[in-house]
Amino acid sequence: MAADKDIAWFKGNYGKAMEKGVKGTPFTIDMLTAIACQETGSIWGVLRKKDLTPEQIAELCVGDTLDDTRGRKAFPKNKAALLAHPRGADMFKVGNDALKAMSKVIPGFSGAASNPDKFCHGYGVFQYDIQFFKDDPDYFLERKWAKFEGTLAKAVGELKNAAKKVGLGSNTSLTDMEMARIAIAYNTGGFNASKGLKQGHKGPDGKFYGENFFDFLTRAHRTAGEGATAAGGGAAPDRPLAKDKDAIVTTGGDPLLLRSAPKQEAGNVKARLPNGHKVKILALPGEHGFAEIKTKIDGDTKRGFAAAKFLKRPPG
């Protein structure tokens, strides 16, 4: 599992690309970082400590060699099924070569790489499964997934589709729970409200995709990008709060208390704003540390004061 230092490295080296990639969408750098942690953090979290550039690391983010002997049902179930496709032989070479290259730096895959029938099923930092090879063979064969911008563009497109499936396609901003709904649909193709975060792939730790995503998202909120390495791009610095501009609640999980006065008192709580909630800054914080804000919650527009340290300007 990606550690906070891994998250800082990821945001530091791919932050500029992500900021550009999510422009005009409700998605955020932290959301994309959380998905990357869940999908391939176990790979780039190791590779970042080796003598590799961010570009080389993005190219090596492949995985999932399990076939029908371990229960795979999606196309292709095995090597024979892939070779039966008109362009399957070319795809097998791409997948087998990618596995061999990755196994040289991630020893745990050396066993699979030594098997002549094995190839990778997941491609890119954000993992696009080979089951979609029939629909978009060029993405795989031309190795668009091997560049960070390529895997990012594919992920953003898939997230847009997932947002539509869960009824959030027209949103211009998202709460953390709404991001989780989309992330689960990204992983499974849908979302069951009755199951909450306990949906998607269940790992050996017993936690579901949705639970892990939300944990990574919370940690990404509180982790700034560290300095870029080699040829990687640095993450955009946090922008200061500004009057009449939007801000996002970044508590890391607990709700932010909206108060009727700029002071902490038990009886002046007007509302509880969830992590990821959008507000507008009406007045910047003074010595008391409270910003005056306006927001809409539960269908009502509310105005009050909130601790400025838990408010952050969105990128862009």
Do 18 and 62 sit in the same domain of this protein? yes
pLDDT at 211: 95
Per DSSP, the residues of 62-84 read EE----GGGT--SSPSSHHHHHT
Residue 8 lies in a domain: yes
| pTM for the predicted model, two decimal places | 0.74
- Burial per residue of 287-314, b for 16 or more beta-carbon CB atoms within 10 angstroms, e otherwise: eeebbbbebebeeeebebbbbbebbbeb
Do 179 and 306 sit in the same domain of this protein? no
Longest CA–CA span in the chain (Å) reads 70
Do 183 and 275 sit in the same domain of this protein? no
Residue 240 lies in a domain: no
Do 174 and 261 sit in the same domain of this protein? no
Do 196 and 285 sit in the same domain of this protein? no
Do 262 and 178 sit in the same domain of this protein? no
Residue 271 lies in a domain: yes
Residue 198 lies in a domain: yes
Do 49 and 99 sit in the same domain of this protein? yes
Do 194 and 302 sit in the same domain of this protein? no
Residue 69 lies in a domain: yes
User: What CATH number did the domain enclosing 256 receive?
Assistant: 2.30.30.40
- Sequential pLDDT tens for the chain (316 residues): 788 899 999 999 999 999 999 999 999 999 999 999 999 999 999 999 999 999 999 999 999 999 999 899 999 999 999 999 999 999 999 999 999 999 999 988 999 999 999 999 999 999 999 999 999 999 999 999 999 999 999 999 999 999 999 999 999 988 889 999 999 999 999 999 999 999 999 988 899 999 999 999 988 888 888 765 544 444 445 678 999 999 988 876 678 999 999 998 888 999 999 877 889 999 999 878 999 999 998 889 999 999 998 898 876 5
Domain that holds residue 253: 246-312
Domain count, the chain: 2
Instruction: Count CB atoms within 10 A of the CB of residue 239.
Output: 13
Residue 232 lies in a domain: no
Q: Residue 146: which region, alpha, beta or left (left: phi > 0; alpha: psi -120 to 50)?
A: alpha
Residue 134 lies in a domain: yes
Do 205 and 265 sit in the same domain of this protein? no
Residue 24 lies in a domain: yes
- Tell me: cis bond preceding 76? Omega within 30 of 0 counts: yes
Do 193 and 293 sit in the same domain of this protein? no
Do 17 and 132 sit in the same domain of this protein? yes
Do 302 and 154 sit in the same domain of this protein? no
